[in-house]
Structure 1
């Protein structure tokens, strides 16, 4: 799924994208803006947002720098979007060094869940009143291949991405009658700025051969952005509660 952007698919709509300073989030923010949306681009690194605006000065990005897992940043993002929010793309996420259960420390576990799950919950919760008032809205959460299988990452990341899928599906059921859709994208390997070194010898021994033998070619951030924007758009109006595996066929193995 990598068709060229349509000039007006999101004309008149406002979208929020987290993790917009790099990788999938950046590509998603660019594509939404190119397709007509007013985009609130949020990222923890202010310099990345400045570079985004400098590279695409005509796309009119509204930027919010801050930790998306904090309530204060959540409120600033929603306020920056204004009275109507049509699309929310929860893209920001962090890895866990592939640490297995016996080696993961509390700090890593809590940090991964804070960014990968709690931030998604808080921002979605903050956006829902505006979507409910409008009677429509599309939420797209980025999970992972690790959210649908057990051998792709460490325990904290794997559990967090399973949680994102649960959050996505429950939201889809609870708000379907209100005109709000909730879907997730599950990428496989993607060329992004998220570093994923093996911090565990056990993980390298257990997962290294598996990943080397079955992982398909690395996807581009733009390919993932195409999947996210399709789910965000009215082209997928009959799709909710779905986890779209954009993984080059990895999930079929």
Structure 2
């Protein structure tokens, strides 16, 4: 719950949240707005984006695809209308096929990397120079626990999220001196439509896959979007001023 003291934690700070229309991006956007941030929200789903924007005072909505350079450029231009860019969250992402690596089609591979990797890169490409011009800022990119260890259920997704981890760490190595602080959040199984989709792709084995996934977690449950969002806001906040380049699992101890 947001306290009176937290209400101004991001007061006056301007930022971009990709994938803001649903899932974890939605929760992050709503919580940032609740704590004073003024946001540009980017998502492909116009209806879902409008619903989120209604609860984010002063937000600008940009309907577009993170894998399309012109759409991300429009979102970055919207930042300029709100003020100096200080925050970036790249939550847009897709799961892709849950099949062995040799069975992933070229089209599936290309679309997965276009959204998860190219989409993250495009946001960084357009926002980081604006942050540097403003004197610095804080970034959280979304990877996954599957980006830290190999995953036989969705290996292509795992590969794409591993790329996000190394891209973000490389950004830290090259841009921290210019005032940029960037971290990666790596959720484990979180109760979202993406998690449910990963089970559904197992067909008749959906229940068994869900039971197996839950059993591998020491806490015996799936995480909630709120638990991930709280971690993201901590990493963006001044309380994390010396936390930089960290790939933080939010997974109930699954990777312990």
TM over 0.5: yes
Of 145-154 and 24-33, deviating more is: 145-154
Q: Aligned to 2:193, what secondary structure does the other structure show?
A: coil
Of 125-134 and 211-220, deviating more is: 211-220
* Paired position in structure 2 for 1:234: 238
Q: Aligned to 2:110, what secondary structure does the other structure show?
A: helix
In structure 2, relative to structure 1, the CA distance for the partners of 1:127 and 1:153 (3 Å cut) is farther
Q: State the Cα distance separating 1:227 from its structure 2 match.
A: 0.5
The 8 Å contact of residues 91 and 141 in structure 1, kept in 2 or not, is answered as yes
* Paired position in structure 2 for 1:196: 198
The 8 Å contact of residues 224 and 246 in structure 1, kept in 2 or not, is answered as yes
Q: How does 1:45-64 map to 2 (within 5 A)?
A: 45-54=45-54, 56=55, 59-64=57-62
Q: State the Cα distance separating 1:145 from its structure 2 match.
A: 0.8
Equivalent pairs counted in the alignment come to: 246
Q: How does 1:7-26 map to 2 (within 5 A)?
A: 7-26=7-26
**Two-structure CA RMSD over aligned residues (Å):** 2.1
In structure 2, relative to structure 1, the CA distance for the partners of 1:235 and 1:44 (3 Å cut) is same
Q: Aligned to 1:16, what secondary structure does the other structure show?
A: strand
* Paired position in structure 1 for 2:251: 247
Of 209-218 and 95-104, deviating more is: 209-218
Q: State the Cα distance separating 1:217 from its structure 2 match.
A: 1.2
The 8 Å contact of residues 97 and 104 in structure 2, kept in 1 or not, is answered as no
**Unmatched 5+ stretches in structure 1:** none
* Paired position in structure 2 for 1:211: 213
Q: Distance in 2 between matches of 1:243 and 1:25?
A: 18
The 8 Å contact of residues 15 and 32 in structure 1, kept in 2 or not, is answered as no
Q: Distance in 2 between matches of 1:162 and 1:208?
A: 23
Q: How does 1:80-229 map to 2 (within 5 A)?
A: 80-82=78-80, 83-151=83-151, 153-194=153-194, 195-197=197-199, 199=201, 211-215=213-217, 216-229=220-233
Q: State the Cα distance separating 1:98 from its structure 2 match.
A: 1.4
**Unmatched 5+ stretches in structure 2:** none
Of 188-197 and 135-144, deviating more is: 188-197
| Higher RCO by CA contacts (8 Å cutoff, separation 6 or greater) | 1
1:66 aligns with 2:68: no
> What is the TM-score normalised by the length of structure 2?
0.90
Q: State the Cα distance separating 1:208 from its structure 2 match.
A: 7.2
Q: Distance in 1 between matches of 2:148 and 2:245?
A: 14
| Cα deviations by residue, 1:25-76 (Å, 9 ceiling, x for unpaired) | 000001111111101111110000112234x2x6222111111110111111
Q: Distance in 2 between matches of 1:133 and 1:44?
A: 28
Q: Distance in 2 between matches of 1:217 and 1:180?
A: 35
Q: Distance in 1 between matches of 2:58 and 2:140?
A: 22
Q: State the Cα distance separating 1:197 from its structure 2 match.
A: 3.9
In structure 2, relative to structure 1, the CA distance for the partners of 1:66 and 1:242 (3 Å cut) is same
> What is the TM-score normalised by the length of structure 1?
0.91
The 8 Å contact of residues 97 and 197 in structure 1, kept in 2 or not, is answered as no
